[in-house]
Structure 1
Amino acid sequence: MSAFGTVFMPEMAISWFDGSTWSEHEMVSSNSIQLHPGAHVLHYSSTCFEGLKAFRHQDGSIKIFRMDKNLARFAQSARLLDLPAIDQEATAQMITSSVAHFADEVPAPPGSMYIRPTHFGTEPAIGKAAVPSMTSVQYILLSPVGDYFAGGDTCLRVLVDEKGMRCAPHNGMIKSGGNYASALRPIMDARAKYKADQVLFCPGGDVQETGAANFLLIDGDEIITKDLDESFLHGVTRDSILTLARDMGLKVSERALTVEELMERAAKPGCEAALSGTAAVLTPVGTLIHNDKEFKVGSGAVGNTTVMLRKALNDIQWGNSEDKHGWLTDVTAK
């Protein structure tokens, strides 16, 4: 099985902004893109992207999960980066037509078609460090992916870092490559020193998010996660999981969570922790590493609530349960 996100469909939808209007999108080869070496993105990181999935249902239909929510965040990222504004309706058409074009390639559950809309500044101007790009491009990459848990449901080891930040706090809501680059070195250091899978950034003792996912603490019938502000990414999977948790009668507390409270609660029997994101939905955390010491979260094993919430979301995505919230967009194959 190829690594997640390394296999791509041979064509992609693309549209260019020339400073005043977006071009009609067209399907082109996805193995290259022509770009000036002075392009704004290469020097000043004027780039944002999204990640969402399309699923094949038993009746053969193809459904995209929460496209409207991802498009709204995509538009928000572009706005906060001062990139040219995207036309959400046109981008939606690019996504649906791309998925329809490759409908036969959408894997059956537990696989899916991963969708990566990308937008970046193309203006060739290396003197614009403090000025936005006037031109840009957006395209839709498609990547068929398999079962994230094919190798078994393994609990993660997470380093609790009270000193570092994932990214600049005012950029936290932007889904931009620069924010992931900012977190990469701390993650690699944690991997080398502690064999950690991820870093949970908690500047000043405030529990925020990991380098690539939101963090949820599950204590009995209560889910605790940081309340939304501009310092961290507002995950679509996070929102979906919290919505389903409320539907199930669980208490959802979106509020400040200190490292002290986290460590105290995590030590309790039955406590669970998980990371939420598009790729894995909910991935259990079994060990927290803090001040050079290791601590089990609850029993250190996969928790029942984590599994229950992940299954509830997967069942909607895969068409095994009712889509009560209108999260699925139907795609007609071409």
Structure 2
Amino acid sequence: MKNKIIISTMFLLAALDVNAQKISVENNVINVGQVLYRVPVKAEFKLKNKGLRSLHIQDVETSCGCTTADYPKTVGGGNEFAISGEYNAETLGHFQKMLCVYSNGSKKPVVLTIKGVVVSELRSFSGEYSYTLGNLKTDVHNVEFDNVNIGDNPKQKIYILNTSEETAEPVFMHLPNYLEVEMYPAKIAPHHTGVAVLSLDSKKLHDLGLNQTDIYLGFAPGDKVADEKMITVSSVVLPAFQNLTAKEVADAPKIKLSTDLLDLGSFNGKNKLKGDIEIKNEGKSVLEIRNLQMFTMGLDVSLNKTKIEPGQSAKLKITAYAEQIKNIRSKPRVLMITNDPSMGKVTIEIKVKK
């Protein structure tokens, strides 16, 4: 009888071992390299539940209050998942921050490590300072925040070179309330470089589609606004489709364009050029063109209908004007916001020879 009990216990332990949780990690250590001072950096670790049962994550402890973690509570058997850690970069110098993952998948915590170095200036920029804005040069004169969802806080960088013989204290003028800028360093010595970090608060943007504004880069506080110091900032806010059910997605509209690159040819002395694009709905419900905008001046658009029934088409007419097109600083494009979950944003590039 005792032998039977021992044998039964062995079989039970073996069965438990078969169903035991096992966590695999693609890379336990992520080196994020150089990070700007006070610009938070995020690292995402890819893991997998190699067990047959659900994995339950009780907690992810970080090595200090300067690091936060985001993780799923439950992961099905055999499924992949991600754990992200964000370091606030409040201290200059090298850093190594750990995340300890406690779960029913292992007796000991799984340790993930984020490492890098916080600097006051990114010195690895190898691009060109192609644009002159007074006594400063920059790598861009158009900044785009693309595919923004409400709640996002994306950031973009502008690299700046001081070409003068005086110390610059760059200042950004005419900032709207949804934009903030931080300079690293605050003052740039003659013939030295710095970087401006633009942060966008999407909660302060209320309209879907394209939002554009012009800001101005001054050499120091008290500098005057001038066209030669202008930087255009664009953001495209997308409609929310995250909460759609599988059936709603299956029954959704589906947009198809005859082309997303419209070549209008050369002006050759003409005042304007015209072209058409066919928009077809290949989905199961009404396609809505919720917003139709131009990224640049010099274009005129008209759409014969904004609601397209399944199987039906609409015609988008586009006109380019020679006098205005010759003065634009970026490629002419048309933006559409739709209710197609797979293509909420549609960008059409317009090609012309000036």
TM-score range, shorter chain: under 0.3
The higher-RCO structure (CA 8 Å, 6+ apart) is: 1
TM value normalised by structure 1: 0.26
The structure with the largest helix share of the pair is 1
